[in-house]
Chains A and B, each alone.
Chain A
Amino acid sequence: MLSAIGTGVTIAALLGAVFVVITGMLGGFRQSESLARLARGGVYFVLVCMTIAMITMETALLTHDFSVDYVSHVGSRETPSYYTAISLWSSLDGSILFWGWILAAYAALVAFVNRHRNERLMPFVNATMMLVGVFFFGLMVGPASPFGLVSPAPANGPGPNPLLQNHPLMGLHPPMLYFGYVGLTVPFAFSIAALLSGKLDDSWIRATRRWTIAPWAFLSVGIVAGAWWSYEVLGWGGYWAWDPVENASFLPWLTATAFLHSVMVQERRGMMKTWNLSLVIGTFLLTLFGTFLTRSGILDSVHAFTEGVIGPIFLAFIAFLAVTSLALIAWRSDRLHAPGSLDGVVSRESAFIMNNLLFAAFTFTVLLGTTFPLVVEAFNGQRISVGPPYFNMVTAPLGLALLFLMGVGPALPWRRTSAENMKRVFWLPVAIGLGVFVIAWVAGIRRVYPLVTFAFAGFVMTTIFEEFRKGVRARQRISGTGPVQALGQLLRRSHRRYGGYIVHAGIVVIVVALSISAAWRFEREATLDVGERLQIGDYGVQLERVWGDQEPQRFVVGSSFSIWDGDRQIGTMEPRMNYYPASEQPIATPAVRSNPREDLYLTLMAFDNQQGAYATVRAIVNPGVPWLWVGGMIIAIGAVLSILPGPKRTRPTNVMTLHEQLEEPEPAPEELEAVPA
């Protein structure tokens, strides 16, 4: 029953998507209002179908209807309901269903928000969104069908991949990534629409501003949540291994970040048009490439839990989109001439260009390291891998340069600046940066990377603080309110700009935390008898007992440790090994104890499986790590602030020059947009 409903609505969604592609393209080229309306209606229809499909699948999962193919693969009666509900994305077919639903939701939302706007672009946008939809819905109808009928239905199933049912963060990490990945289809669709319609002014960029920041924020949270999940589940005490699949999520993040910056240059100075189009298209292709890496099983990694025919189809689709996009850009090259040009070597736009260059280099580095083994194997059959040292070695200087620019860019004016102005703006941040360096040196730090990172972080944080201070002061002068109210006004009125600075602050927190944890992490491993204590740093770790417990969906071997600070017991920790029936290998479940300074991280490595008289434990002191998650939250807050709708207002058109005379921070482009043309 459920199988039939699901299959029916996915076929309907596929047909609906094909309908939108045809009507949208025709409507766009003929500039036909009625065809455009049909396309829009088709998008809504697809969302309805996909929503029914989602509900059907969730119902099947939660009611353990093992006659549905996907449920028979990932469901089990013993799995707790939470993990059953989220097992929607624990395997390929369900992920694609979820992906398709998110795509339909984004498409419908974009169509609805723009129903009276961007008339030239929207038919093409709808068609492009649904062209991608045709691909995913096609997968669902064909090779990755989640709704196939299993007859006779088995009485029970194996449950989801053990790694994916071992931690609640699995409910956050994949959906965040998907909302990010799929959301980046929207700016892609707008860029294709701009190319197809020939309307290559800034309208596509203004229309997609929020549609880029929101997926970017989802992607950021998804990446941090993934690092956190890996830290809490994989038991090696790290959070980032430059695993190809981690890289796959990081690559589009890098190019999307570059785009968020370069787009401002186009808005303000009319430069970098072709570059921006290429970045958006490249970002989207990288999301597809990431899905390909994750889902095709081409790489031997913990994430690549499926194999099959999906790989070649994905590659063909990526190649098709890449070639088409390039051809479109070439076709429209006469309209992509930039009216603006660079006025000064030291200016905000040149800082942004530098930023983009570094992000491009960063992307290239990661992409090369990720694909190099595949290329080498394809050419001479030699199997190699590129280890984390490569990535760390090459990306660390690039990251530091970007960190430095983060302090320079926002403080530089557009167009050009004078030596006088530079001195005035930068003396304090530079002084504080140097001060941090000296303090760190005196504190005995001699490692180059932490020293430089701390100094740059001090520099950047000071420029961010100065931006806020200047903004608040200017607002106080204008409205005559107290500083707190002025700050509130500032955040409301120029939310994009100051939201961006908050994101920057979050990045600084993460970079500092990364540098601390990389430099000062230490670990000890020991086999302890019950009652024996291992000293690591300030912590005494004493084995109390080893125990076993049968839980409904798994068997647990746990070890209890008391944690001591000298003679004082400060807590207990229980690292475990979880044995799931579906897997021959246990899933280590480390125990983490956090304070603002550091984490104490225990992993159970081995145990006496007869008497429980001893256990081997790996203890890691991970300084700075808790701040990674804090940094991720700060980024989320800043990003949300920058996409919130700003206050509506009507103001004279010369508002910008007025602002510049008053030396108030420039208005965010939202403000400019609100001005009637």
Chain B
Amino acid sequence: MAVKARRAWMGLGLLAIAGAVTLLIAGGLKENVVFFLTPSELEAKGASVYDRPVRLGGQVVPESKTWDAQTRDLRFMVTDGTVEIPVHSVGAPPAMFEEGIGVVVEGRLGSDGVFQSDNVMVKHSNEYKPPHEDKTPAKMFESLVEREE
């Protein structure tokens, strides 16, 4: 084969691969970009984000949490101060989950207006604050230690 023909073949092959990869990347990005939204933004987007993956960030509304240990059914409201969005997920809440704490929930907004989450994450600051004196784990879980005797 002449040098030119070989070059042409290689060039064509490279071009084909580059094209395929570009298509893959574009398709992958289009489908898998996850928007990070506040409750207000989520409400504003409304139907356009039904069934699209979303990360919703906000605070857990006080006294909105219901958690059933047996069915592992977790419901709570997330707010940014203006809008409250009901969240439902199945699974134990993360260890630090408490009312008023900042959370990021991953999931999709259903057409019923309930955010179906498959991952609830507590947003904790990187600044370490020692827990309040009577909220140390040793105090909180005292009864568990005694059980060991």
| CB pair B144 A588 closer than 8 Å | no
The reply to whether A612 and B128 form a contact with Cβ atoms under 8 Å apart is no
Question: What are 21 A-to-B residue pairs whose CB atoms are below 8 Å?
Answer: A341-B3, A342-B6, A350-B10, A361-B18, A365-B24, A368-B29, A387-B53, A526-B72, A527-B92, A546-B144, A547-B144, A547-B145, A548-B141, A548-B142, A555-B137, A584-B129, A584-B131, A585-B96, A586-B96, A609-B141, A612-B147
Of the four ranges (under 10, 10 to 19, 20 to 34, 35 or more), the interface on chain B belongs to 35 or more
Binary A-proximity of B106-149 (CB < 8 A = 1, otherwise 0)? 00000000000000001010101111000011101111110110
Residues from chain A with a CB closer than 8 A to the CB of B28 are 369, 389-391, 393-394
Interface mask (B54-93 → A, CB under 8 Å = 1, otherwise 0): 0100000000000001101000000000000000000111
Known: A525-B92, A606-B92. A394 touches B24 (CB 8 A): yes
Question: Is there an interface contact between B69 and A548, defined as CB atoms closer than 8 Å?
Answer: no
Sorting the interface of chain A by its residue count into under 10, 10 to 19, 20 to 34 or 35 or more gives: 35 or more
Nearest CB in chain B to that of A306: its residue: B126
Check A357–B17 contact: CB distance below 8 A.
yes
CB-CB under 8 A for A549 and B148, given A358-B17, A557-B137: yes
A546 (CB) vs chain B CBs: closest residue: B144
Q: B140 — which chain A residues lie within 8 A by C-beta?
A: 609
A176-191, CB under 8 A of B: which get 1 and which 0?
A: 0000000000000000
Q: Complex Cα distance A364/B20, Å?
A: 13
Query: Does A616 count as interface, using CB distance less than 8 angstroms?
Result: yes
Cβ of A149 < 8 Å from any Cβ of B? no
CB of B33 within 8 Å of the partner chain: yes
Q: Mark B16-41, 1 if CB is under 8 A from A, else 0.
A: 01100100110111011111100000
Q: Is the CB of A616 within 8 A of B6?
A: no
Chain A 580-622 near chain B by CB (<8 Å), digits 1 or 0:
0111111010000000000000000110111110101010000
Residue of B nearest to A353 (CB): B10
| Chain B residue with Cβ nearest A526 | B72
Q: Which residue of B lies closest to A343 (CB)?
A: B6
For A577, the chain B residues whose CB sits under 8 A away are: 95
| Residues A555 and B136 in contact, CB atoms below 8 Å apart | yes
B14 at interface, CB cutoff 8 A: yes
CA distance A649 to B27 in the complex (A): 55
Residues of chain B with a CB closer than 8 A to A583's CB = 124, 128
B29 to chain A, nearest CB (A): 6
Which residue in chain B gives the minimum CB-CB distance to A614?
Answer: B69
Q: Does A398 contact B (CB under 8 A)?
A: yes
Task: Give the residues in chain B near A653, CB-CB below 8 Å.
Answer: none
Q: Report A521-558 residues with CB < 8 Å from chain B CB.
A: 525-527, 545-550, 555, 557
A342-B3, A389-B32 known; 11 other A-B pairs, CB under 8 Å?
Answer: A158-B130, A350-B10, A368-B29, A369-B29, A386-B33, A398-B21, A547-B145, A579-B136, A581-B136, A586-B95, A614-B69
B44: Cβ under 8 A from any A Cβ: no
A333-386 at interface with B (beta carbon < 8 Å):
341-345, 350, 353-354, 357-358, 361, 364-365, 368-369, 372, 382-386
Contact A357 B14 (CB under 8 A): yes
Interchain CB contact under 8 A, B34 and A384: yes
Tell me, in angstroms, the Cα distance from A351 to B20 when the chains sit together: 18
Is B35 in contact with A382, judged by CB distance below 8 angstroms? yes
A605 CA to B138 CA in the complex, in Å? 18
A394 to B9, CA, bound (A): 25
Flag if A389 contacts B31 (CB, 8 Å): yes
B138 / chain A contacts, CB cutoff of 8 Å: 548, 550, 555
Q: Would you list the 9 A-B pairs with minimal beta carbon distance, nearest first?
A: A548-B144, A605-B92, A390-B32, A383-B36, A579-B137, A606-B92, A555-B137, A548-B145, A616-B92
- Interface membership of A44, Cβ < 8 A: no
Over the window 53-72 of chain A, the binary record of Cβ atoms lying under 8 Å from chain B Cβ atoms (1 yes, 0 no) is: 00000000000000000000
Query: By the criterion CB–CB under 8 Å, are B131 and A555 in contact?
Result: no
Interface centre among B18, B32, B138, by most chain A C-beta atoms within 10 angstroms, is B32
A292 to B55, CA, bound (A): 25
Q: Is A397 an interface position by the 8 A CB rule?
A: yes
A residues less than 8 Å from B141 (CB atoms) = 548, 555, 557, 609
Q: CA separation between A343 and B9, bound complex, in Å?
A: 12
Contacts of B25 in A (CB 8 A): 364-365, 368, 394
Residues of B contacting A384 in the complex (Cβ-Cβ under 8 angstroms)? 33-36
A557 pairs with B144, CB closer than 8 A: yes
Measured between alpha carbons, how far is A384 from B34 in the docked complex, in Å? 5
Of the candidates B24, B142, B147, the one whose C-beta lies within 8 Å of that of A547 is B147
Distance in angstroms from A137 CB to nearest chain B CB is: 27
- Please, which residues of chain B bring their CB within 8 A of the CB of A78? none
A19 to B27, alpha carbons, bound, how many Å?
52
Which partner residue on chain A sits nearest B146 by CB separation?
Answer: A548
Beta-carbon nearest neighbor of B57 in chain A? A383
Assess whether A385 is in contact with B34, with CB atoms less than 8 Å apart.
yes
Determine whether the beta carbon of A393 is less than 8 Å from that of B32. Answer: yes
Is A307 in contact with chain B by the CB < 8 A criterion? yes
A372–B31 Cα distance when bound, in Å, is 14
Give the residues in chain A near B33, CB-CB below 8 Å: 372, 384-386, 390
For the complex, what is the distance from the CA of A357 to the CA of B131, rounded to whole Å? 53
Residue of B with least CB distance to A585: B96
Contact B34 A387 (CB under 8 A): yes
Contact with B along A418-433 (1 / 0, CB 8 A): 0000000000000000
Q: Give Cα distance in the complex from A389 to B24, angstroms.
A: 12
A629 located at the interface, meaning its Cβ lies under 8 Å from any Cβ of chain B in the complex = no
Most buried by B among A158, A545, A557, A588: A557
Pair B34/A307 contact, Cβ less than 8 Å: no
With a CB–CB cut-off of 8 A, which chain A residues contact B72?
Answer: 525-527, 616
Contact with A along B92-106 (1 / 0, CB 8 A): 110110000000000
Residues of A within 8 A of B10 (CB): 342, 345, 350, 353
Chain A residues closer than 8 Å to B7, beta-carbon distance: 342
Nearest B residue to A581 via CB reads B130
Contact yes or no, A372 B29, CB < 8 A: yes
List A contacts of B53 (CB < 8 A): 387
Tell me if A525 and B91 are in contact (CB < 8 A).
yes
Q: Say whether A385 contacts B70, CB under 8 Å.
A: no
| B135 → A minimal CB distance (Å) | 9
When the two chains form their complex, are residues B144 and A616 in contact, meaning their CB atoms are under 8 A apart?
Answer: no
Chain B residues within 8 Å of A547, by CB: 144-145, 147-148
B32 touches A585 (CB 8 A): no
Q: A305-B126, A583-B128 are contacts. A606–B145 as well, Cβ < 8 Å?
A: no
Residue among B1, B126, B136 facing the most chain A CB atoms (10 A cut-off): B126
What's the minimum C-beta distance from B87 to chain A, rounded to whole angstroms? 17
Question: Which A residues lie within 8 Å of B55 (CB)?
Answer: 385
Query: Which residue of chain A has the shortest Cβ distance to B135 in the bound complex?
Result: A584
Residues of A within 8 A of B91 (CB): 525, 605, 618
CB pair A612–B143 under 8 Å, yes or no, is: yes
Of B3, B18, B29, B31, most A-chain CB atoms within 10 Å: B29
A409 to chain B, nearest CB (A): 15
The answer to whether B69 and A527 have CB atoms under 8 Å apart is: yes
Residues of A contacting B29 in the complex (Cβ-Cβ under 8 angstroms)? 368-369, 372, 386, 390
Given contacts A398-B21, A584-B129, contact A345 B144 (CB under 8 A): no
Flag if B32 contacts A609 (CB, 8 Å).
no
Chain A's closest residue to B123 (CB) is A300
Q: How far is the CA of A557 from the CA of B93 in the complex (A)?
A: 17
Which of B10, B13, B24, B129 has the most chain A CB within a 10 Å cutoff? B24
Q: How far is the CB of B31 from chain A (nearest CB, A)?
A: 7
